[in-house]
Amino acid sequence: MILTRFRNLINSDFAQSSFLNHEIAFMRSQLHKVDHEGLRDFISKNLHEDKSYLPREEILQLKGRREKFEAIKNCRSISTFRIKKEFPFKKSLEEAKALKHLFTDHRRDPNYGWKALCLHGSSPGHTNDFNMYGYKSREEANYQWTEIADRCPVTSDWFKENWPYSEFHRLRFVLLEPGGSITPHRDTDGERGFFAVNIALNQPFGCNMFMDQFGIVPWRPGDIRWMDIGNHHAVYNFSDEDRYHIIVHGLQGPRFEEFEDMIVNSL
């Protein structure tokens, strides 16, 4: 029964969040009744293997790197694009877990159990965008490495040494607690496109990210994905473990060609 309601939730209009919130509250209360075999079957049927929807051969035939990059960037038959790059996710997960007591609530009600901690930003606890705190600009918000960066050297050094951004804005650990939900939303005014980058540090069974019109994102620990957060999306943690991700925002700036190479080489 719970899976039928779960299926209805996913197939319903993602924008109708008042209905969804009611439904999510119900499902959270039923968490202990989830039948894991049924859930496994349900997830496998709804996984969206994104790259199989990408017109890879057509893109490879395009001449220049810039054309290939633009074709990937403008592709709307996928909602996430997996970047081929190794990330030390096991060490990073250990670092994040050791700091769990410092995470703060991020966008509560109607969300539940969503917490974050900034490695780079205005402060460790300023987990939202600068305008939520009254700053008029990024400059005024004074984004910089926070004291958290020193407490998770494997993670912060990896970004300083390996990630092709000329400046970072917010770089955060985010966690979703058991029974937690990030209700359907989009992070732009409707503009579609790949904006943020998410990295999965773990992927507890039963915790899933849904992309409207696409299905379940097939996250695996260590995956780095360029995300179309202009599309409605939601996350529900029906596992009994915290789910940890990293979300990175920033500017490629003068390192744009390196970024382009990284995307095109991930085809």
Q: Residue 148 or 229: which CB sits closer to Fe ion?
A: 229
Q: Residue 39 or 209: which CB sits closer to Fe ion?
A: 209
184-213: contacts with Fe ion (CB under 5 A): 187
Q: Would residue 215 be called left, alpha or beta, if left means φ above 0 and alpha means ψ between -120 and 50 degrees?
A: left
Nearest to 99 by CA among 195, 2, 182, 175: 175
CB of 234 to Fe ion, least distance (A): 9
Question: Helix (H, G, I), strand (E, B), or coil: what is residue 17?
Answer: helix
CB of 55 to Fe ion, least distance (A): 26
In this chain, which stretch among 21-29, 103-111, 183-191, 212-220 interacts with Fe ion, using CB under 5 A?
183-191
CB of 180 to Fe ion, least distance (A): 14
Is the distance from CB of 232 to CB of 212 less than 8 angstroms? yes
CB of 236 to Fe ion, least distance (A): 13
- For residue 148, with 0-12 CB atoms within 10 Å meaning exposed, 13-18 middle and 19 or more buried, which class applies? buried
Measure the CA–CA gap between 220 and 237, rounded to whole angstroms.
Answer: 15
Q: Residue 85 or 185: which CB sits closer to Fe ion?
A: 185
Q: Would residue 204 be called left, alpha or beta, if left means φ above 0 and alpha means ψ between -120 and 50 degrees?
A: beta
Q: One symbol per residue from 216 to 255: x for binding Fe ion (CB under 5 A), - otherwise; what is it?
A: -------------x--------------------------
How, if at all, do strands 112-121 and 215-216 pair?
unpaired
Measure the CA–CA gap between 223 and 213, rounded to whole angstroms.
Answer: 21
Q: Which residue of the chain is nearest Fe ion when measured via CB?
A: 187
Q: Residue 179 or 184: which CB sits closer to Fe ion?
A: 184
Q: Residue 53 or 195: which CB sits closer to Fe ion?
A: 195
CB of 116 to Fe ion, least distance (A): 12
CB of 239 to Fe ion, least distance (A): 20
**Sign of CA pseudo-dihedral 245, 250, 255, 256:** positive
Q: Residue 61 or 188: which CB sits closer to Fe ion?
A: 188
249 Cβ neighbours under 8 A, 6+ residues apart: 168, 169, 170, 171, 195, 196
In this chain, which stretch among 58-66, 153-161, 182-190, 212-220 interacts with Fe ion, using CB under 5 A?
182-190
Interface with Fe ion (CB under 5 A)? 187, 229
